[in-house]
């Protein structure tokens, strides 16, 4: 199979999005965004043996998870996913069947969100590199920036944290916890970006959103810095699955604060909107939990974490130091 | 220098394009295309020791050429370049200074076209991979598709062909042809996408354009297939620099027909527009040459190449076979 045959094999028979004027097969794709919508776009790159391993994932999961990570960025901007492009560096030892697996994984998730594959590049190299560019639409003035948090907001998080890190841990260590094994493994291999929930928030004038790709410690600090406020989080309020409580405290803590790759959303909203936001979460089958609040910054924007009535400063990497 | 410091070092101090609402520093970039314009986008990936080598290029050229190749796709769609995102896989043996070189090369060319760097991803890996996504704008109904050629069009090409291949040949073989050496080497390292010329063609209702990245044999066949017509090209009319004529016939031919990477444009237009197109070429300092014509397809869309009064069929790879 040469490059042209491969492109033929992955070229869609039809496109789902009506805003697409030209897909695969010309110098560029051509998109006409719907009136009243902005176009949002991001790129994310995964490298074999750096970001994933075939020891813990099938090619199908590699594709699925890479696109999920990208869609999560679109969700965190409050937008509706529409398109993706795929740049793939292919080493000799990957078979056509494996490559097909990557595209199957991406396509399965793309179908859920009516996304179209509209272009890309396939080249050869020493190591598999999968780089995806995604495109979405968001109504004017409804982009959810990290800088949109204000003082006296509620800080919330969707889903449960640490699941993906625990799933990877189980796979890497060959451990099996029985009937619940599959849940955690799937959370690692096939995360669910919070698109529906984020879209439904479009009725609100202001919401701040960030997706949890590197760990809540990092993401909370990004919001604090961008919005120039302080965040106060309660450790015991961070939602986790009960299975994680069986782990040693330090492992638990690492998975929850810095595990990342759960692709849940952390956000802030004013208190008046909180009941309605909870209702939207309910309507979209999204678990949602208030984990803290925001306050005027004391000079340097910080994230404070309380546990057992002691308050520490939480830095980006998940490291804390106690306040005197 | 960690990833965050590196991102800081490449983050622009200001953005040039007024349609940008959010650049680097959030989950996605946010773009509001000007009214009456479509957004065009493409991705192109270059791998060290596959698409380029530090034996023949500095990191600066790697960046410059990669972005030029992408901009050339925007030109071939008749659009105005606006934005780019960079995904970079960095191996251990690349120094921060070399990486800076790549970004300098890209930035130099971006300045020419007022393009903004609006996002990206930097990760580690075994081999340097530079993947660029570009974004441009084109007025409604002025996208220049490969399918836009019609019978009785003039086929034209900008610039001269084979220069880049000859430049690479000189570098790879350590040859030096004296005063003209630099011209060919620069054509390989720092090609000029034909943006200005393509933009000025926006006054015409119909023009077909394709950029010459893989060689005119390939690109002419793409137009024939997409437009379902035949192309008749005259080999002696294909514009080349006189220095190429000193090369053995087979080398010359290979450079001209399949050399690629000149990032010139091949196009077709109706005869009535030809004089005006030549004037636009003149006004934009673009060499332009008629090299043939189009005709109704005889069943299978083909490219015919005439040389010394003999006509062959030219296939995608540059191979020809004589007509009986």
Task: Look up the CATH number of the domain holding residue A99.
Answer: 3.30.1330.10
pLDDT one-digit tens code per residue, B135-161: 999 999 999 999 999 999 999 999 999
> Can you spell out the DSSP letters for A66-116?
HHHHHHHHHHHTTPEEEEEEEEEEE-TT--HHHHHHHHHHHHHHHHHTT-E
Q: Distance (Å, rounded) from C-alpha A304 to C-alpha A49?
A: 34
Identify the H or E element spanning A283.
helix A274-283
Q: Distance (Å, rounded) from C-alpha B170 to C-alpha B156?
A: 28
Are the CB atoms for A12 and A117 separated by under 8 Å? yes
Confidence bin at A12 (pLDDT 50/70/90): confident
Decide if B31 and A44 are in contact by the 8 Å CB cutoff: no
Q: Residue A2's pLDDT is what? A: 62
The encoded tokens of residue B37 equal 């314009």
A80-90/A129-139 β-pairing: antiparallel
More confident of the two residues B7 and B294: B294
**Closest by Cα among A159, A87, A86, A99 to A123:** A87
* pLDDT, average across residues B174-185: 96
Q: Residue A4's pLDDT is what? A: 61
Q: Say if residue A302 carries a ligand binding annotation.
A: no
Q: Distance (Å, rounded) from C-alpha A88 to C-alpha A45?
A: 10
- Residues B99, B214 share a domain: no
Query: DSSP code of B275?
Result: H
Q: Residue A220's pLDDT is what? A: 98
- Residues A236, A90 share a domain: no
Provide the b/e sequence for A273-310 (b: ≥16 CB within 10 Å): beeebeebbeebebebbbbbbbeebeeebbbbbbeeee
* Angle, CA B5 vertex, CA A256 and CA A320 arms, to 5°: 30
Using CB atoms within 10 Å of the CB of residue A271, give its burial: 0 to 12 exposed, 13 to 18 middle, 19+ buried. exposed
Q: Distance (Å, rounded) from C-alpha A296 to C-alpha A149?
A: 11
Q: Distance (Å, rounded) from C-alpha A274 to C-alpha A153?
A: 9
- Residues B165, B308 share a domain: yes
Are the CB atoms for A204 and A273 separated by under 8 Å? yes
Are the CB atoms for B269 and B204 separated by under 8 Å? yes
Distance of CA A170 to the CA centre of its chain: 21
Q: Say if residue A93 carries a ligand binding annotation.
A: no
Decide if A145 and B33 are in contact by the 8 Å CB cutoff: no
Q: Residue B4's pLDDT is what? A: 61
CATH code for the domain of A235: 3.90.650.10
* pLDDT, average across residues A42-64: 97
* pLDDT, average across residues B115-120: 97
Q: Distance (Å, rounded) from C-alpha B60 to C-alpha A265?
A: 39
- Residues B161, B96 share a domain: no
Decide if A87 and B87 are in contact by the 8 Å CB cutoff: yes
Mutate which of B27, B41, B75, B121 to test chain A, going by most A C-beta atoms within 10 A?
B27
Total H helices, total E strands in chain B: 9, 14
- Is 80 exceeded by the pLDDT of residue B1? no
A-chain residues near B227 (CB < 8 A):
none
Are the CB atoms for A74 and A81 separated by under 8 Å? yes
A310-314/A303-307 β-pairing: antiparallel
Q: Residue B2's pLDDT is what? A: 62
Chain B: residue nearest A265 by CA?
A: B27
A-chain residues near B119 (CB < 8 A):
41-43
Decide if B143 and A30 are in contact by the 8 Å CB cutoff: yes
* pLDDT, average across residues B206-228: 97
* pLDDT, average across residues B189-209: 97
Residue B214 contacts A, CB cutoff 8 Å = no
**Closest by Cα among A246, A261, A249 to A167:** A261
- Is 60 exceeded by the pLDDT of residue A1? no
- Residues A173, A58 share a domain: no
For B182, residues 6+ apart whose C-beta sits below 8 A from its C-beta are none
What 3-state class would DSSP assign to B220? helix
For B242, residues 6+ apart whose C-beta sits below 8 A from its C-beta are none
Are the CB atoms for A198 and A137 separated by under 8 Å? no
Are the CB atoms for A225 and A147 separated by under 8 Å? no
For B67, residues 6+ apart whose C-beta sits below 8 A from its C-beta are B84, B105, B106, B109, B110, B132, B134
- Residues A281, A211 share a domain: yes
- Residues B304, B177 share a domain: yes
- Is 90 exceeded by the pLDDT of residue A318? no
Q: Which of A139, A167, A201 is the last residue of a domain?
A: A139
What 3-state class would DSSP assign to A131? strand
Of chain A, the end-to-end C-alpha distance in Å amounts to 65
Confidence bin at A199 (pLDDT 50/70/90): very high
- Is 80 exceeded by the pLDDT of residue A3? no
- Residues A176, A81 share a domain: no
* pLDDT, average across residues B69-81: 98
Please count the structural domains in chain B: 2
* pLDDT, average across residues B35-59: 97
User: Which of B33, B74, B131 is nearest residue A87 as measured by Cβ atoms?
Assistant: B131
User: Which of B39, B45, B123 is nearest residue A47 as measured by Cβ atoms?
Assistant: B123
Q: Distance (Å, rounded) from C-alpha A224 to C-alpha A300?
A: 9
Q: How close A274 comes to chain B (CA, Å)?
A: 23
Q: Distance (Å, rounded) from C-alpha A85 to C-alpha A130?
A: 10
Q: Distance (Å, rounded) from C-alpha A323 to C-alpha A273?
A: 32
Q: Distance (Å, rounded) from C-alpha A315 to C-alpha B250?
A: 64
pLDDT one-digit tens code per residue, A252-282: 999 999 988 999 999 999 999 999 999 999 9
Q: Residue A9's pLDDT is what? A: 78
A-chain residues near B46 (CB < 8 A):
123
- Residues A151, A96 share a domain: no
Q: What rounded mean pLDDT belongs to chain B?
A: 95
- Is 70 exceeded by the pLDDT of residue A43? yes
The encoded tokens of residue B170 equal 């000189």
Are the CB atoms for B206 and B274 separated by under 8 Å? no
* pLDDT, average across residues A273-294: 98
Confidence bin at B13 (pLDDT 50/70/90): confident
- Is 90 exceeded by the pLDDT of residue A13? no
**Closest by Cα among A139, A255, A141, A125 to A187:** A255
User: Which of A21, A39, A121 is nearest residue B31 as measured by Cβ atoms?
Assistant: A39
> At residue B53, what are phi and psi to the nearest 5 degrees?
-140, 145
- Residues B184, B68 share a domain: no
Q: Which of B139, B174, B202 is the last residue of a domain?
A: B139
**Closest by Cα among A219, A207, A211 to A277:** A207
Boundaries of domain holding A128: 3-139
Are the CB atoms for B80 and B135 separated by under 8 Å? no
Q: How close A41 comes to chain B (CA, Å)?
A: 5
Decide if B42 and A29 are in contact by the 8 Å CB cutoff: yes
The encoded tokens of residue A270 equal 């004013």
- Residues B93, B152 share a domain: no
User: In this predicted complex, what is the ipTM?
Assistant: 0.95
- Residues A305, A171 share a domain: yes
A-chain residues near B34 (CB < 8 A):
none
Neighbours of B92 (CB within 10 A): 8
Q: Residue B3's pLDDT is what? A: 62
Q: Distance (Å, rounded) from C-alpha A207 to C-alpha A76?
A: 10
- Is 90 exceeded by the pLDDT of residue B285? yes
Q: Which of B139, B174, B198 is the last residue of a domain?
A: B139
pLDDT one-digit tens code per residue, A82-127: 999 999 999 999 999 999 999 999 999 999 999 999 999 999 999 9
- What number of C-beta contacts closer than 8 Å exist between A and B? 182
């Amino acid at each position: 199979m040469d490059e042209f045959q491969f492109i033929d094999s992955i070229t869609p028979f039809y496109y789902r999005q009506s805003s697409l004027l030209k897909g695969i097969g010309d110098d560029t794709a051509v998109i006409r965004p719907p009136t009243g919508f902005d176009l949002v776009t991001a790129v994310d790159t995964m490298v074999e043996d750096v970001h994933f391993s075939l020891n813990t994932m099938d090619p199908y999961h590699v594709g699925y998870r890479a696109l999920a990570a990208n869609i999560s960025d679109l969700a965190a901007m409050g937008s509706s996913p529409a398109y993706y492009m795929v740049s793939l560096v292919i080493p000799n030892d990957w078979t056509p069947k494996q490559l097909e697996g990557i595209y199957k994984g991406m396509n399965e998730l793309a179908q859920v969100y009516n996304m179209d594959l509209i272009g890309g590049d396939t080249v050869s190299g020493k190591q598999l590199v999968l780089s995806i560019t995604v495109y979405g639409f968001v109504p004017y003035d409804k982009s959810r920036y990290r800088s949109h948090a204000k003082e006296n907001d509620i800080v919330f998080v969707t889903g449960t944290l640490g699941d993906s890190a625990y799933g990877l841990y189980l796979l890497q260590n060959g451990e099996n916890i029985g009937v619940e094994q599959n849940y955690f493994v799937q959370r690692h291999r096939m995360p669910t970006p919070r698109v529906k929930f984020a879209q439904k928030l479009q009725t609100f004038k202001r919401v701040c959103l960030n997706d949890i790709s590197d760990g809540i410690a990092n993401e909370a600090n990004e919001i604090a810095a961008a919005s120039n406020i302080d965040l106060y989080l309660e450790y015991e309020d961070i939602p986790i699955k009960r299975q994680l409580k069986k782990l040693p405290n330090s492992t638990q803590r690492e998975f929850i604060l810095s595990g990342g790759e759960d692709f849940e959303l952390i956000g802030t909203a004013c208190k008046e909107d909180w009941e309605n936001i909870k209702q939207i979460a309910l309507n979209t089958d999204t678990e949602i939990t208030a984990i803290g609040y925001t306050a005027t910054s004391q000079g340097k924007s910080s994230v404070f974490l309380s546990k057992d009535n002691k308050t520490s400063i939480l830095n980006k990497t998940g490291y804390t130091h106690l306040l005197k």
